[in-house]
Structure 1
Amino acid sequence: MSFTTASSRWSDVWLATAARGISSCGDFLAASALTLALQSAGAGGLAVSGLLLAATLPLVVLAPLTGRLADRVDSRTLLVIAGLAQAGICLALAYAERPAMMIALAGLLAVGLAVTQPVLAALVPAMVRPADLPRASALQQSAGTLGVLAGPALAGVLVGGFGTRLPLLLDAASYLALVAAGLLIRTRRGGRRVPEKVLADGGIEPRTWRLRRDPLLLATVIGVAGVVGSVGAINVVEVFFIRETLHSSTTMYGLVTGAWTLGALAGSWIFARAVGRLHRDGALAGAGLALLGGCCLMVLISAAVPTALLIVPIWLVGGIFNGGNNVFGTVLMARRVPEAVRGRAFASYVGAVQGASMVGYLAGGVLLELLDPRPLVAAAGVAGLAAVGVLAVPLSRAARRDRAAGTPRQAPRTADPAEPVAAPKVEAGTAVTPVPGR
């Protein structure tokens, strides 16, 4: 792997953290506002699943392209252009009135997200020393979860008091944080910053790296994607479960949703301390899958509650598990992927996970036309737990093979001629994102 060879550049980490937090808040502010607008207008599960699919499809379809862009084009250029484009699209979204137009613009907005996610993810290891990566990762996860925490809560309050336009205008302004970060962050990658050739003592040639050639990483991606696809219907069902089955307000919907992200904030710091104790990558991958199982268990338990308020502590625990999984995934990817292709690796990871989540979105939208929300919440939890049990088998086998083969060869360290202090993350989940993909 390749991190900075000098002292960690924490000023850049904080700038990236602030940009991620503000833009994440805007993302979920808009997503929650549009979801509530569709539900309040009488739209069914198919309309909500259509919105989620539109916001996810670019992350899947464009992953091969945006990953290469993140590795080959100057990170500053990408952040500035994408941030300005997203601000303009969100401004148009604030004045869109037809559901079809909202869905189409949400899809365009996600195109920018497909670009900025791998750019920011791949920048973080370039800013810090290996020993500081868990802390930097926790800061990034904290920013994302704080944004996700604030976004739905603000949406619940603002939509109830002012309608959907004001939240969407605030979202447009939030994307300017990406522009500012692109201009102020000194650490850069891509463009003319070509890594040095591979060292002769066993480094991994970046051009030959493929996800399928790393059985442990491949099993991890398949495991996370499989669980997300199985439990993903909860993302569509949740708003109907809280608003219609439990007869709660838009404000309560925002608070319940925010409880998961508050837990993820705590979990990212709790489990960042545990990363140092897991020296083998197989143990790290296995622990991440186990934490996803905990997330699914909390979804199952929530199906039995009589009131929305009781979901809050359950969602809080689920979020703690989710935050730990995100940190473990970040460190695992940074350990095993050469720096020169880290943007492509992250985009591939997110594309696989978001592609799986689309299956859940579609299933949730279709099943809501046939069944009540409560049994669907329970079914999502059971399906997720079953996926964890099934996918733990190939992951365990890959971990044993990896352990038998010894420590994997690391990517060579590289020097960045344009950034003498910083030589040249992939984070799990987005999302992206409560249970990844949420």
Structure 2
Amino acid sequence: MLGTTAAFLAMVLHLRHDGSGWVTALLLAELTPFILMGALAGWLVDRLEARALLIVVSIGQAIVSVALSMASSPIAIVALVALLGTQAAVERPAAGALVPHITGEEHATRGYARLSTGRALGSIGGPAIGGFVSVAGETRAALLINAASFLILALALTTVGARRRPSGPPGGDGGVGDSVEAGFRFLVRQPVLRLAIPLTALAAGIALADNVAAPYRFADDFAVGAVGFGVYEALYSVCELIGIQAFTSKLSRGREEKLLAAGNLMLGLGVLGIGLAGNYPLALAAAVIGGVGNGMSNAGEGVVIRLCTPEALRGRAFAASGALVQTASIGGAMAGAPAVAVFGAAGTMVIFGSLAAAVAAVGVVVALSRTTALVPEGKS
């Protein structure tokens, strides 16, 4: 994550000289493979040994990153980023499906929290590195750092003894068959996931308009400039790490769906609070709520999927969930710019924060009304 976020920021700063259209194309190239590849990526994860797949994908990402360091034209950069995104669309569900085999089912929730913590730490450090090398005029260096990070990951994965091999026990498909799109059908049919995942995707996607509005809200409305906005970004990221830790405690067992729903609600309320805040300190206080909620939402998604999904179907379930979340995220990001133009930064955050909180509140009500605790599929 550190290498990826450093490289991506460097590429955004590089392409801005070619026009905002290329920056938008770069963002879409990163995100759309998760949507377009969702069904196929999950099917591959459930058909191939997960650790070997992760090693192959990591080496592939390193090769593409080296090619990116030599690319100069915007169209070549966007095409190679799309190829990176395609490989990432396979990596995410493969990692999610492998975690319980590394930790054991009884410790999988803590495993997902640690995986989310690692990704969050990388996301904090990466932009700083990317910005530094870009200022130095070394975009190529950021891309080579990314390539090196993937090779290190591939090497580290060779030390992992756990394996997730394809299996197909009777009834292991959750009653949805063995097709490429089975993950989506399972999300629709599974009583918990058919609400929890779409509501999580909607809440996160709607709240993502915050990413467009926040720079204007802090740098302009509160007149705190780039430094004040940077403090907000850093605080939000630290609070995400705190939110993730909600799933590391034994107290979280049996409350996973409720914690996910609460995280989604806090995320929406945080965006709403920033929009309503009358001054900078109050906006930072709201950011604490939103950041903690975002961390809980990010970690809780994988935890709830694992608990509700048969082992043989987890790759496709993770991929289907990722496709829904990315679809909603693209929608929220695209809606943010026109909303800021019409309603202003504060108005946008109030409107979108309220919508996200309203969507998340439905999940809270449903989760609180459920009397049985979630247990891993196939256990009792």
Task: Return the TM-score normalized by structure 2.
Answer: 0.83
What is the Cα deviation at residue 128 of structure 1? 2.1
Give the structure 1 partner of residue 236 of structure 2.
260
More helix by share: 2
Choose which of 71, 74, 78 in structure 2 pairs with 1:96.
71
What is the Cα deviation at residue 244 of structure 1? 7.7
What is the root-mean-square deviation in Å for CA atoms of aligned residues?
3.4
For 2:18 and 2:288, the matched residues in 1 are separated by 30
What is the Cα deviation at residue 118 of structure 1? 0.7
1:38-437 map, 5 Å = 38-39=15-16, 41=17, 43-44=19-20, 46-190=21-165, 193-197=166-170, 207=177, 210-238=186-214, 248=225, 256-273=232-249, 276-277=251-252, 279=254, 284-303=256-275, 315-367=287-339, 370=341, 375-376=344-345, 378-390=347-359, 392-393=361-362, 396-397=365-366, 400=369, 403=371, 411-412=377-378
For 1:160 and 1:243, the matched residues in 2 are separated by 21
Partners of 1:237 and 1:377 within 8 A in 2: yes
For 1:336 and 1:382, the matched residues in 2 are separated by 33
Q: For residue 67 of structure 1, what is the amino acid of its counterpart?
A: G
CA deviations on 1:173-202 (whole Å, 9 max, x unpaired) are 111133213422221123xx4254459xxx
Task: Return the TM-score normalized by structure 1.
Answer: 0.73
Partners of 1:234 and 1:377 within 8 A in 2: no
Q: For residue 345 of structure 1, what is the amino acid of its counterpart?
A: A
Partners of 2:202 and 2:359 within 8 A in 1: no
Partners of 1:75 and 1:119 within 8 A in 2: yes
For 2:376 and 2:247, the matched residues in 1 are separated by 24
SS at match of 1:162: coil
For 2:29 and 2:367, the matched residues in 1 are separated by 34
Q: For residue 177 of structure 1, what is the amino acid of its counterpart?
A: I
For 1:99 and 1:371, the matched residues in 2 are separated by 31
What is the Cα deviation at residue 345 of structure 1? 0.5
For 2:135 and 2:279, the matched residues in 1 are separated by 20
Change (3 A) 1:377 1:165: farther
CA deviations on 1:208-256 (whole Å, 9 max, x unpaired) are 871111122110111011112212223345566667886855x876665
Change (3 A) 1:77 1:284: closer
Q: For residue 235 of structure 1, what is the amino acid of its counterpart?
A: N
For 2:293 and 2:258, the matched residues in 1 are separated by 13
What's the % identity of the aligned pairs?
Answer: 27
For 2:280 and 2:22, the matched residues in 1 are separated by 23
What is the Cα deviation at residue 158 of structure 1? 2.4
For 1:286 and 1:29, the matched residues in 2 are separated by 34
For 1:172 and 1:312, the matched residues in 2 are separated by 36
Give the structure 2 partner of residue 421 of structure 1.
none
For 2:198 and 2:82, the matched residues in 1 are separated by 25
CA deviations on 1:318-354 (whole Å, 9 max, x unpaired) are 3222222233323221111111111110001111000
Unaligned runs of 5+ in 2: none
CA deviations on 1:337-382 (whole Å, 9 max, x unpaired) are 11111111000111100011111222235556x459xx24641453
CA deviations on 1:378-437 (whole Å, 9 max, x unpaired) are 41453133233145337635764x54xx56786337xxxxxxxxxxxxxxxxxxxxxxxx
CA deviations on 1:263-283 (whole Å, 9 max, x unpaired) are 22222224432x63552xxx5
What is the Cα deviation at residue 305 of structure 1? 7.7
Give the structure 2 partner of residue 30 of structure 1.
7
For 2:268 and 2:150, the matched residues in 1 are separated by 32
Q: For residue 239 of structure 2, what is the amino acid of its counterpart?
A: G
Partners of 1:230 and 1:380 within 8 A in 2: no
Change (3 A) 1:59 1:149: same
Unaligned runs of 5+ in 1: 1-23, 414-438
For 2:214 and 2:145, the matched residues in 1 are separated by 24
For 2:374 and 2:281, the matched residues in 1 are separated by 47
SS at match of 1:185: coil
Partners of 1:153 and 1:254 within 8 A in 2: no
